[in-house]
Amino acid sequence: MLVVLTGGTGGAKLIEGLAAEIDPAQLTVICNTADDAVFHGLYVSPDIDTITYTLAGLNDGERGWGILDDTFAVLGQLRRLGNDVWFNLGDNDFATHITRSRLMAEGLTLTQVTERIRAALGVKATVLPMTDERVETRVVTPEGELSFQEFFVKERWSRAVESVHLIGAERCKPAPGVLEAIRQSSAVVIAPSNPITSIGPILAVSEIRKALRHSVVNVVGVSPIIGRAAISGPAHKLMAAQGLEPTAFGVAESYRDLLNRFVIDSEDRVLRSRIEGLGIRVLETAIRMTCIADKRRLARQVLALLEK
């Protein structure tokens, strides 16, 4: 059993590669939920959806989120009716949020709903939220505090960031199945996702971090950063705001109590000895994933590293 901790887009690419290289039934994906938000009265869980759609072969790989070839008629009509529509929900994507919101209103947990949607879409891997409780990333800017989606989508991560904090993470319990999956795993992968707003919230669930720290299996991380910038998104900006060096070294350092292997881009070979100085074995390779061949090759390299 392989456990992967992930956020949305960057992590989804590696997970697509892993699911193509091993039996997906052997894969348990633990997703960040601190980006979740309510739009038009519907509960949206972007990272769970990105991973589920990816594993179902439905995702829009170009954009990195939503459903391939989706249309936006509902959003257009919502705009006409005077709604604020800066978060782009496609028509087919809306069906997921309507289903999830109805089932949650009927009393199902996020874990139970995720399982129903997974089964309905024919996904063989297990997809779990990190927790069934509400956890929320808040981004502090000089002009005030924003939710993650306000910062990331509405403001296109253009605002200066003073700090990032989480509401609700430390006290919350891991979702059912999360600790069991970690304890029964033969290896753990920390996907190339934002260490502050994607992996950070998962590790902020104290029982999850504790279970990983006590795990005796290999834990491999993949850097989401090349040079001093994230392959996509604002990870470097948020890392700097949190006092972390915005490089692959900074990512490795923030997971140092958990990792024993780390994958960096060949362009970052100068960081190798500093990362090894943390007691972490390093693999240098090409970590940008632009096509399925890249995703599968990186997945194979990660799997080989886990066996060594």
What residues make contact with ligand FO1 under the rule CB under 6 A?
A: 7-9, 35, 44, 46-47, 49-50, 65-66, 87-89, 93, 149, 152-153, 198
Contact 161, 141 (CB under 8 A): yes
Closest approach, Cβ 274 to ligand FO1, in A, equals 28
DSSP run (H or E) holding 49: helix 46-56
Closest approach, Cβ 45 to ligand FO1, in A, equals 7
The angle at the Cα of 51, spanning 88 to 163, to the nearest 5 degrees, equals 65
Of 46 and 250, CB closest to ligand FO1: 46
Distance, CA of 266 to CA of 285 (rounded, Å): 5
The answer for residues whose C-beta is within 8 angstroms of residue 255's C-beta and 6 or more apart is: 190, 195, 199, 203, 219, 221, 262
Of 53 and 255, CB closest to ligand FO1: 53
Closest approach, Cβ 266 to ligand FO1, in A, equals 26
Of 37 and 108, CB closest to ligand FO1: 37
Of 77 and 266, CB closest to ligand FO1: 77
**Maximum Cα–Cα distance for the chain, whole Å?**
58
Closest approach, Cβ 170 to ligand FO1, in A, equals 21
Please give the structure tokens belonging to residue 143.
């002009």
Amino acid symbol at 16: E
Of 50 and 247, CB closest to ligand FO1: 50
Closest approach, Cβ 5 to ligand FO1, in A, equals 13
* Residue with the CB atom nearest ligand FO1 in the bound state: 8
Q: CA torsion sign, 148 to 222 to 52 to 173?
A: negative
